[in-house]
A and B are shown apart, each in its own frame.
Chain A
Amino acid sequence: GESVGLHLPTLSVQEGDNSIINCAYSNSASDYFIWYKQESGKGPQFIIDIRSNMDKRQGQRVTVLLNKTVKHLSLQIAATQPGDSAVYFCAEKSGGYQKVTFGTGTKLQVIP
């Protein structure tokens, strides 16, 4: 079937290595950021979030870093596994609004 990741930037990593996926956002008023994982044929799945009053948040094998000065967000995945292969999107919200704005995705390919 069609790939969600068609024409997206691609990051290829060896299984077991760490992955870093980057995202630039444009709205300086955004105060809440989310990373989503989307596998082919499925809807996006929440991974981790961070509020603008933080610069780092850790989950299970994942860490999100936020640099508000340069409006940059990154997702770090430790010990990348084949099941991590998917398209990853950063997303943002602002001012208490529920509308989520998604950024351009990155396709992560894990090489066994």
Chain B
Amino acid sequence: GAGVSQTPSNKVTEKGKYVELRCDPISGHTALYWYRQSLGQGPEFLIYFQGTGAADDSGLPNDRFFAVRPEGSVSTLKIQRTERGDSAVYLCASSTHSGNEQFFGPGTRLTVL
């Protein structure tokens, strides 16, 4: 079946702009995760959803970052007033309710000029 998909694959924006990154998880997966990966680093946890609610948002760096999952499927990561330091690959993953194996999407490469 289809894996996790993310759109867009690349996003270039200017400092101060607002961006939205979308994640379509594997059908039936109730858990959804967002990570951020800087060049040469491992993915860094941002937020985890179980269904529609954010079960753990401890990784969001500041209040410019926000994520939603209104119907318990697709999720959107929103970044306000983007800064150059926000440039990274944003990865989404999904899993079954209590599954340990997380399935990752290809990521969205965000570049803030």
Contact = CB atoms under 8 A, between A and B. Distances in A.
B12 to A, nearest CB: 14
Please report whether the interface of chain A is mostly helix, strand, loop or mixed according to DSSP.
loop
A8 B37 CA distance: 14
Interface string B4-16: 1000000000000
Interface in A1-19: 2, 4-8
Interface string B24-52: 00000001010001011111110010100
B93 interface: yes
Interface residues of A, number: 27
Contacts of A5: 40
Interface of B: 4, 31, 33, 37, 39-45, 48, 50, 55-56, 58-59, 91, 93, 95, 100-107
